[in-house]
């Protein structure tokens, strides 16, 4: 199980492992995934610094543009509205 490896790795190593796995998926899937993460970040009305830092780091590493993510995110349903139903 993966949790055995996580316990022995530093936060940075876990983070880098996640980024490396993320980079293995096709670009369109990365854009879609990051757009959903962006929507989740804004759902509570507050973007926390760790969330923003992670998103910017991934964008820099993932060969995607912030505008591509925001454009895709605009097409997604509003998470707050979905949660209040």
> CB of 1 within 8 A of CB of 35?
no
Token pair of 19 as six digits: 């980024």
Name the average pLDDT for the chain.
82
User: What gap in Å lies between CA 52 and CA 50, rounded to an integer?
Assistant: 6
Q: What is the pTM of this model?
A: 0.73
Res 67: pLDDT? 92
**In terms of Cα–Cα distance, which of 2, 10, 18, 26 is closest to 54?**
18
> CB of 36 within 8 A of CB of 76?
yes
pLDDT, tens only, 22-60 = 889 999 999 999 999 888 888 777 777 878 887 888 888
User: What gap in Å lies between CA 30 and CA 25, rounded to an integer?
Assistant: 7
Q: Between residues 84 and 1, which one has the greater pLDDT?
A: 84
């Amino acid at each position: 199980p993966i949790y055995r490896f996580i316990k022995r790795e530093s936060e940075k190593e876990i983070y880098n492992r996640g980024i490396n796995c993320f980079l293995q998926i096709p670009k369109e899937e990365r854009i879609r995934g990051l757009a959903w993460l962006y929507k989740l970040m804004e759902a509570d009305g507050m973007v926390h610094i760790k969330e923003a830092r992670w998103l910017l780091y991934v964008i820099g590493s993932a060969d995607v543009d912030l505008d591509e993510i925001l454009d895709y995110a605009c097409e997604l349903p509003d998470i707050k509205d979905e949660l209040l139903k």
